[in-house]
């Protein structure tokens, strides 16, 4: 991919105290209205015209832009490879990274980056906007400026937030704990099962107890193998055996994220359990996650989930669907033993879920 590189002088050279690489993938934040009133990507070389207060931040900013901005609905594995590789390739040259991304699939991408960038000890802050940067009431300016501030923040020479996160509408959330919950309001994201990492008001109030600790000795490792032979099945009243059997008969299918009710409950009819059991015996890995925003799977708590545990369906605890499906793709791509995939699916590998009780 031929990336476009733009270097921005946001402060006098002797005043710069940190450097941040912005990766522009696409999305509403990087759009502006042209003379006809249509939304088009704007030139990041003119970012100072859009956000003049950037000159007060004393940050050396470089922008690497994808050749063609992507609507986040079109994000695929190749784009994840590109994002992770850009960070890996430029890791030693910058204090932090900001990824500008469309909102619809941002939680998926942030989750995947947390797995692909193993040993990360610098901030990777995803952000975007609900309104383009040229709009009068746009949230883009504040989201961008605060994301840059967080990506460059240090305490005693060490990064304050050395992990993958999402900043949106005053809140900093762990990336692989986040979920998009709004499409028409500025507070687009929530993290119901994990506390916010920071809240931006007059100052940025960091929740240090919730942030992954900085580990100076860790070396960044870039994992570039993924397996997308997975599906998500969302249960609903009235689901039929034909639907399940059709899903489980997909050629090459290796993993299923099963969205169940409440704390991991599902129909207890014989046909339903037999369909899942047959899939498990075929070697298909099934991970049970809750449909609830803020739900937690506790298999066996109710009678309707006891059989799932008995036949070998795995418990996803309090993981989000976004983090679950990307984790499954990651583990299936990088582990050669399915037993190891199963073992790691139920354990946190990047802070994406609570440890088992």
Kindly list the catalytic residues: 28
CA triplet 203, 209, 213: central angle to 5 degrees? 100
Instruction: Give the contacts of 157 (CB within 8 A, at least 6 positions apart).
Output: none
- For the residues of 70-106, what is the DSSP string, one character each? --GGG--HHHHHHHHHHHHHHGGG-SEEEEE--STTH
- The SS3 call for residue 350 is coil
Q: What's 293-314 look like in SS3?
A: CCCCCCCCCCHHHHHHHHHCCE
Which class for 183: exposed (0-12), middle (13-18), buried (19 or more C-beta within 10 A)?
exposed
Q: Please give the structure tokens belonging to residue 62.
A: 């470089």
Instruction: Give the contacts of 49 (CB within 8 A, at least 6 positions apart).
Output: none
Using the CB atoms, write b or e for 80-96: b if 16+ within 10 Å: bbbbbebbbeebeebbb
**Left (φ > 0), alpha (ψ -120 to 50) or beta: where does 220 sit?**
beta
Contact of 150 with 211, CB cutoff 8 Å:
no
Phi, psi (degrees; rounded to nearest 5) at 258? -100, 110
**Left (φ > 0), alpha (ψ -120 to 50) or beta: where does 180 sit?**
beta
Q: Which of 240, 199, 228, 2 is nearest to 108 (CA)?
A: 228
Query: CB-side exposure of 220: number of CA atoms within 13 Å?
Result: 22
């Amino acid at each position: 991919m031929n990336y476009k590189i733009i270097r921005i002088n946001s402060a006098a050279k002797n005043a710069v105290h940190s450097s941040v690489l912005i990766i522009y993938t696409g999305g509403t934040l990087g759009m502006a209205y042209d003379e006809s009133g249509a939304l088009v990507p704007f030139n990041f070389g003119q970012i100072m015209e859009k956000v003049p207060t950037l000159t007060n931040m004393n940050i050396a900013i470089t922008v690497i832009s994808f050749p063609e901005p992507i609507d986040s609905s079109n994000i695929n594995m190749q784009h994840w490879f590109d994002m992770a590789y850009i960070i890996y390739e430029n890791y030693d040259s910058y204090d932090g990274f900001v990824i500008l991304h469309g909102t619809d699939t941002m939680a998926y991408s942030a989750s995947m980056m947390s797995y692909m960038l193993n040993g990360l000890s610098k901030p990777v802050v995803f952000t975007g906007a609900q309104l383009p940067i040229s709009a009068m009431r746009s949230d883009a300016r504040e989201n961008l400026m605060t994301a840059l501030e967080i990506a460059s923040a240090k305490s005693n020479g060490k990064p304050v937030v050395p992990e993958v996160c999402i900043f949106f509408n005053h809140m900093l959330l762990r990336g692989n704990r986040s979920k998009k919950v709004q499409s028409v309001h500025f507070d687009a994201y929530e993290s119901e099962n994990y506390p916010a990492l920071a809240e931006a008001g007059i100052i940025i109030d960091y929740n240090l107890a919730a942030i992954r600790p900085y580990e100076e000795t860790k070396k960044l490792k870039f994992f570039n193998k993924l397996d997308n032979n997975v599906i998500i099945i969302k249960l609903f009243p009235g689901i039929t055996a034909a639907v399940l059997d059709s899903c489980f008969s997909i050629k090459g299918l290796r993993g299923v994220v099963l969205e169940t009710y409440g704390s991991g409950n599902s129909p207890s009819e014989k046909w339903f359990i037999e369909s899942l059991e047959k899939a498990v015996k075929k070697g298909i890995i099934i991970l049970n996650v809750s449909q609830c925003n803020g739900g937690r799977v506790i298999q066996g708590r109710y009678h309707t989930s006891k059989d799932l545990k008995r036949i070998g369906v795995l418990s996803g605890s309090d993981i989000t669907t976004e983090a679950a499906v990307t984790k499954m793709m990651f583990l299936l791509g990088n582990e050669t033993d399915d037993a190891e995939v199963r073992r790691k699916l139920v354990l946190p590998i990047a802070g994406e879920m609570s440890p088992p009780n």
